[in-house]
Amino acid sequence: MQVIDSMPERWAIAGARAILPDRILDDAFIEVNSGRIQRVGTIPKRIPKTLYIIDGTGKWLSPGFVDIHVHGGAGADFMDGTPEAIATAAVAHLHHGTTSIFPTTTTGTAKAIHAMLDAVRVAIQECTNSLPHIAGVHLYGPYFAVAKSGCHSKAGCRTPELSEYQSYFKTGLIKVATCAAELEGCLSFYRYAKRRGCLVTCGHSNSSWNEMRAAHQAGMSHVDHFWCAMSNVASVRGRFGTPMQGSMLEFVLAHNTMSTEVIADGCHLSPELLQFAWQMKGPGRLCLVTDSNRAMDMPPGKYLFGHPEEQVWVESDGQVGRAADGGLASAIQGMDHCVRFMARNTEVPLHDIIRMASLTPATLTGIDREVGSVETGKRANLLLLNRKLHIDRVFLTPS
């Protein structure tokens, strides 16, 4: 696999099967000028001799992937809070096809979260052409329900306080913001995040239908990693007794204004659940995310999850991360693996799978005018994939 971040001013990929948002274009001719896609069509009869041509015959051409929920890779966690860790993890995901990335927090202290935000800012300022586009930060922790904390530190879970989260948003880096819908102060958090143009999400929550409805009215429109660390009818019954009430699951499936995401690593969800999520939400409201931690691209073993001071450990078996109790923890696969798993194990059309890994998350986070699809005017963040959907080359246009 090769990352290409420097090309002539005008170049083109000819002969590949281009994966567009709604179809496959055979014998594609994708022309690029000054880092922007200028033409999407089939191979013309006449090609200027001065145009640098890359032969894509026998390969798939895909937009670069967009990951809105990712914790680390290659031994680094974004919560390590250093520019070096940010760069290490981001580059690792670039090699798996992710050209736009949203570094994601955990349940660290306010000091640790600010260190992560400062490190992201430095990484963006010192960005070299070898880094994927850091499109913003996902403020994922610390506003989780303790009962649904998953592999995150229970001690780090807390209710949202204006003075704390306001300091995070003042950095201008937060573009995705998560809070459990049953926490005191959650509605103020949702409204605050919505006013700042964030994708507002509910995650690590045991909330009921009525709590989700209030959250939705306050601006929440997305649920993190569907089926994972989220409420169901039985868990809500544990809070409220009978009659049984609806949960996050039913609310998301019942409302076409709600989007969600799945971890398609083959360990978190079975093929039929992945297929079901696509059937229910469609490719425009369902994202693929990696949720990967620092164990991605590392040998099996024990790894710290989140900021080292929290001393939260996950065990990697080479396939997935597991918590101390043996339960599923964060994933350890790149987005290319998720795409391949969906393609091999479900009946979802390939153009829908790629859309869920690129255009849909780009649209939900407001960066779709720049990236997310093979369309004229957009940045030439492109992937050449072999017949089995392994990455051959990554084309990265500096931001």
d(CA 96, CA 70): 13
On whether residue 299 sits in a domain, the answer given is yes
Same domain as 101, residue 18: no
On whether residue 214 sits in a domain, the answer given is yes
On whether residue 370 sits in a domain, the answer given is no
Q: Considering only CA atoms, give the Rg of the chain.
A: 21
Same domain as 138, residue 121: yes
Same domain as 83, residue 54: no
pLDDT tens digits, 193-233: 999 999 999 999 999 999 999 999 999 999 999 999 999 99
pLDDT tens digits, 61-82: 999 999 999 999 999 999 999 9
On whether residue 53 sits in a domain, the answer given is yes
Contact predicate 132/101, CB 8 Å: yes
Same domain as 344, residue 221: yes
Same domain as 88, residue 24: no
Q: Cα-flanking dihedrals φ and ψ of residue 66, to 5°?
A: -125, 120
Same domain as 58, residue 181: no
Closest CA to 374 of 348, 347, 397: 397
Same domain as 180, residue 292: yes
Closest CA to 303 of 82, 75, 72: 75
Q: Cα-flanking dihedrals φ and ψ of residue 186, to 5°?
A: -65, -40
Q: Whose structure tokens read 């031994």?
A: 75
**Residue 160: band (very low, low, confident or very high) from pLDDT cuts 50, 70, 90:** very high
Residues of the domain holding 32: 2-62+377-395
Same domain as 92, residue 33: no
Same domain as 255, residue 106: yes
* Mean local confidence (pLDDT), 10-31: 97
Q: Point out the least confidently predicted range of 116-130, 246-260, 279-293.
A: 116-130
The strand pairing partners of 29, in sequence order, are 14, 41
On whether residue 73 sits in a domain, the answer given is yes
On whether residue 8 sits in a domain, the answer given is yes
* Number of structural domains in the chain: 2
Buried b vs exposed e over 267-286: b needs ≥16 C-beta within 10 Å? bbbebeebbbbbeebebebb
On whether residue 369 sits in a domain, the answer given is no
Q: Cα-flanking dihedrals φ and ψ of residue 247, to 5°?
A: -125, -170
Task: Give the CATH number of the domain where residue 56 resides.
Answer: 2.30.40.10
First to last CA, the chain: 22
Same domain as 207, residue 329: yes
Same domain as 262, residue 134: yes
